[in-house]
Chains A and B, each alone.
Chain A
């Protein structure tokens, strides 16, 4: 405010000054909408504040960092460590003939800072302090907005990368289904999250279908990444060891992935099998996987038989350390109408709204009741039955189902 002339001149001067400050505040308010870069937006606010307050220096302090306004046209140097001169706090609140400085404490959300303005020649007035307070809030608000934006951007990038990795992992599951005379195959895997550790894969070599079904311990992307490794190992094992039977396939997979799994603190339950369409011979070797049910051909009155594991899951103990006879290979003559049902624990351990699990008995009953249904029809029905049973309860784990049906 000017100090000369009549009261009318003083009043007019004060009005002009107030209008100038309002205009400056309006200009300040538009800055943050033009940039989301923390240094750029905040520096611009400080520079405008310097002009507005006719200050020689405006500094925003946040912890041990400070940002200083530069003359218009000069690039900001960005955040820097507080200088020893400023750490001494001799700027804030000091006043002498040459220099006046004032400091405003400000908090926005979790951020706490101090805005310091230095002016030579004339002291700061009450109106200046209010303006400075508004500038401080805006400057800290700009910092907070920029940081929120940056955090949101980082989270979005991470989420996108996670989704991409999950999508890639799930692509390891075969989308094709083998077509062999005398055989029906249903295979489906639904992850509880965007990716999961359940797996199945197969290969046709001559008149024989080789397959594995498994479940990597744990959930989400880590399990899914390990799942892809197991599928690669199985795919190679089908070609190199398939003729020697599923027991040899499991040993081969174990040699490939045991150390890898062990290092990661994970294991994978695995059922390996083969079915020869010429001889209708079904061979199975089970390393810790459940449930595995075989339903013999008949009129539907036959009970499902459980194919038990003979060794722990792969990754727990090296198969070679368990002895040559530990891994048992089961041989089944499968007549037309017989079927093999292999599920993951996400099927049997799925709870309903009151916490009751679906359980192996319900699975066995459903499998035997529908003895005449085609593999695909039975598979879709089992998924439907499970969904109906869970009655809206959240999917607790990955659900995988493979049904192999022998047809005449």
Chain B
């Protein structure tokens, strides 16, 4: 899996908090989860609590990866921010719907 990160301008509704878009590519599973966890932890440590995870080019997510997304979402929300999902690919959307995690995340 590849992770590309770009900082974005926070909109006025976010209260000016730093924001970023994290684009993931390929398989997102137990092997890749530590890399994603480290990237999110680093972003939060640097004060970015609004993270949009772009999943357009993710072919597959397993339960470990979903747990990492949930962990990141909780960590951001605890600090007043959020981790949202952007344009999940069809396979990812199906898994989010099957597990009803689509009800837990903000999905754009």
Interface residues of A (CB under 8 A from B): 215, 217-219, 262, 265-267, 269, 287-291, 308-313, 315-317, 322, 345, 349, 397
Q: Do A288 and B100 touch (CB < 8 A)?
A: yes
Q: For the complex, is B98 an interface residue (Cβ under 8 Å from A)?
A: yes
Point out the residues of chain A lying under 8 angstroms from B74, CB to CB.
262
Q: State A310–B103 Cα separation when bound (angstroms).
A: 9
Q: State A133–B42 Cα separation when bound (angstroms).
A: 51
Q: State A340–B36 Cα separation when bound (angstroms).
A: 37
Question: Looking at chain B's contact residues, is the secondary structure mostly helix, strand, loop, or mixed?
Answer: helix
Beyond A288-B99, A290-B99, A349-B62, is A312–B104 a contact (Cβ under 8 Å)?
A: yes
Q: Which 6 A-B pairs have the closest CB atoms?
A: A217-B67, A290-B98, A309-B100, A217-B63, A265-B71, A288-B99
Q: Do B99 and A312 touch (CB < 8 A)?
A: yes
Point out the residues of chain B lying under 8 angstroms from A309, CB to CB.
98-100
Beyond A265-B71, A345-B62, A397-B62, is A219–B100 a contact (Cβ under 8 Å)?
A: no
Interface residues of B (CB under 8 A from A): 30, 60, 62-64, 66-68, 70-71, 74, 98-101, 103-104
Q: Do A217 and B66 touch (CB < 8 A)?
A: yes
Select B63's contact among A218, A262, A308, A311, beta carbons within 8 Å.
Answer: A218
Q: Do A313 and B99 touch (CB < 8 A)?
A: yes
Point out the residues of chain B lying under 8 angstroms from A262, CB to CB.
74
Q: Do B64 and A219 touch (CB < 8 A)?
A: yes
Q: Do B101 and A312 touch (CB < 8 A)?
A: yes
Q: Do A316 and B70 touch (CB < 8 A)?
A: yes
Beyond A218-B30, A265-B71, A267-B70, is A316–B63 a contact (Cβ under 8 Å)?
A: no
Select B30's contact among A219, A288, A308, A345, beta carbons within 8 Å.
Answer: A219
Q: State A219–B99 Cα separation when bound (angstroms).
A: 18
Q: Given A218-B63, A310-B100, output 14 extra A-B contacts at Cβ < 8 Å.
A: A217-B67, A218-B30, A218-B67, A219-B30, A265-B70, A289-B99, A290-B98, A291-B98, A311-B100, A311-B103, A313-B101, A316-B101, A349-B62, A397-B62
The smallest C-beta distance from A92 to any residue of chain B, in angstroms, reads 46
